[in-house]
Each structure stands twice: as structure tokens, then as C-alpha cells.
């Protein structure tokens, strides 16, 4: 007979010990991703399923970034043919609205992508914010500097902790926070036309979705830009509630890392 008695202290110990064990394991990783939006999670999924040790740090309580809300809180997303292939791979159903415009339920898409990413072996830590990067020889980005989002929100003066990774991915969306940190601290060194964050351009879905793939690349030694962050740092337009580019960009980031940066 298994014990039925429920002991609060055992619950506490189980949570603390298991979490700390996982966090300790994350202190040395192959790929560290800032942001668990659709782009960051798709990158993590494709890396983890190839056996690459991948960790995502997400500031918010929820993962999924801007996907939950669809367009203007109409919780449906649109993807084009290429994006639909990735939705299919995740097992997210979609219906063709007009030729080349596939519609999916935003909640089903975000939750399924999160689940498949974790089941592929990636670890997601929510409620942790990336506040800086670690550099090593040649100013290569070699890790992330972390703090509890609660510390950030309360504006407390608490020093952060650091994890080491072979590659860092900026998947922080419109704000491209990691690129901005690097640009601010190591001046004029980003691989953009100006050496700095150029900034996102106004809405133009066709161009935004096209350029996001070209923008998904190494923006600084050891740092890959993905998703909306890639368009923001390289100065391409936003695209609205079409999410195919985010998924395709995530997959491309994983391919770049698998083919080049990690070898």
C-alpha cells in the first residue's frame, strides 16, 4: 500500500530540490535562449530533438510570447504554406481560409508548441529575466546573466547569477533586448549596417516575412538573432499577426547552430 498521508514539508522539499537540480544542470549548456515566444521555442524544439542541450529563460509567467492573443485579441493566427509545414510538424491543426492563408487557434498553437518543445528535451525556466551577457576571449558572447523577474519588477538591488553556453539566441521579440545590451556595452560591433540595433520598420507583412529569414543569423560572435528580434536588429518591417515567419525563423536559427556555430 502506498502512503496516502500528505506532508507539506515533503511537497516543499520536492519542489525546491527538483528545481535547483534542473537549474544547476542549466548552468552549463550548449544553447541558451532568451525568450519563450514562438521563435525561441521553435528554435529550441529543433535543437533539442537533435540532442543539443538547450535552455530557454522566459521573463513572464506564461510562455508563448505574442502568440496567445492572435491579432488584436482575436485568438487566431495566420501562417503561409511554409509556416503551415512547421505547424503540421508540431501537430497543430490549421484550416485554409484562402489559398496560402492557413488559420490556426492561437491557444492551441502556443500550448502545443510549448509542450512539444519540452517533450523534445528543451528546458524552459519561466519567471527569469536575462539582464546581461557574459563575454570571453575576443568578446565572444559565452553565456547569460539572469535574475528573477520579480527582482526586476520590484526594482530590487540584487546581484544576478550567470550561466555558460556555447551559443546565445536573442528571441526576445520586438525589443531585441540581448542585441541592445551588446550594442550598448560593446559599441558599434553588431553585424548590422550601422553596427548598432537599427530598429523595426512599420508594417509591411510581405517584406517583413521575407526578410526575417535573411535576418536570422549571427549578429555578433556567439549571438544569433531570431524571430521579431531579428527584424528589429537588422531594421526590417513588422508583419502583424502572421506567424509563419516566426516559426520558419526559429527553425532556421536551429539549422544555423547545428550546421555551423556548434561545430
Residue ranges binding ligand 48H (CB under 6 A): 34-40, 57-60, 65-67, 129-130, 171-174, 177, 203, 227-229, 238-240, 243, 246
Judged by beta carbon, residue 65 or residue 143, the one nearer ligand 48H is 65
- Smallest gap from Cβ 226 to ligand 48H, in A, equals 7
Cβ-proximal residues to 261 (8 Å cutoff; 6+ apart), any chain: 166, 167, 218, 222, 224
- Smallest gap from Cβ 128 to ligand 48H, in A, equals 7
Per the CB < 8 A criterion, the answer to whether 106 and 68 are in contact is yes
- Smallest gap from Cβ 147 to ligand 48H, in A, equals 9
- Smallest gap from Cβ 262 to ligand 48H, in A, equals 21
Judged by beta carbon, residue 57 or residue 234, the one nearer ligand 48H is 57
Judged by beta carbon, residue 108 or residue 177, the one nearer ligand 48H is 177
Per the CB < 8 A criterion, the answer to whether 32 and 163 are in contact is yes
- Smallest gap from Cβ 7 to ligand 48H, in A, equals 35
Judged by beta carbon, residue 52 or residue 64, the one nearer ligand 48H is 64
Cβ-proximal residues to 74 (8 Å cutoff; 6+ apart), any chain: none
Judged by beta carbon, residue 47 or residue 239, the one nearer ligand 48H is 239
Judged by beta carbon, residue 192 or residue 250, the one nearer ligand 48H is 250
Judged by beta carbon, residue 192 or residue 215, the one nearer ligand 48H is 215
Angle between helices 106-119 and 81-90 (to 10 degrees): 60
- Smallest gap from Cβ 171 to ligand 48H, in A, equals 6
- Smallest gap from Cβ 113 to ligand 48H, in A, equals 10
Amino acid at each position: 500500500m502506498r502512503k496516502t498521508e500528505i506532508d507539506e514539508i515533503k511537497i516543499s522539499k520536492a519542489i525546491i530540490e527538483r528545481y535547483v537540480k534542473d537549474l544547476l544542470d542549466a548552468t552549463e549548456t550548449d544553447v541558451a535562449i532568451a525568450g519563450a515566444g514562438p521563435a525561441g521555442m521553435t528554435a529550441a524544439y529543433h535543437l533539442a530533438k537533435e540532442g543539443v542541450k538547450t535552455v530557454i529563460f522566459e521573463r513572464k509567467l506564461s510562455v508563448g510570447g505574442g502568440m496567445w492573443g492572435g491579432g488584436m485579441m482575436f485568438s487566431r493566427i495566420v501562417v503561409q504554406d511554409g509556416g503551415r509545414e512547421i505547424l503540421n510538424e508540431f501537430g497543430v491543426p490549421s484550416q485554409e481560409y484562402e489559398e496560402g492563408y492557413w488559420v490556426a487557434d492561437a491557444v492551441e498553437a502556443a500550448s502545443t508548441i510549448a509542450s512539444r518543445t519540452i517533450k523534445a528535451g528543451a528546458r524552459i525556466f519561466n519567471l527569469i529575466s536575462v539582464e546581461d551577457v557574459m563575454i570571453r576571449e575576443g568578446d565572444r558572447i559565452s553565456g547569460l546573466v539572469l535574475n528573477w523577474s520579480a527582482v526586476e519588477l520590484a526594482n530590487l538591488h540584487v546581484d544576478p547569477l550567470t550561466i555558460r553556453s556555447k551559443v546565445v539566441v536573442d528571441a526576445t521579440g520586438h525589443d531585441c533586448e540581448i542585441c541592445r545590451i551588446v550594442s550598448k556595452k560593446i559599441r558599434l560591433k553588431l553585424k548590422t549596417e550601422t553596427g548598432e540595433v537599427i530598429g523595426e520598420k512599420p508594417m509591411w507583412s510581405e517584406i517583413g516575412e521575407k526578410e526575417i529569414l535573411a535576418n536570422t543569423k549571427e549578429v555578433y560572435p556567439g549571438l544569433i538573432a531570431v524571430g521579431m528580434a531579428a527584424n528589429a536588429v537588422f531594421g526590417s518591417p513588422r508583419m502583424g499577426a502572421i506567424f509563419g515567419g516566426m516559426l520558419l525563423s526559429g527553425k532556421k536559427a536551429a539549422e544555423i547552430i547545428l550546421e555551423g556555430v556548434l561545430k
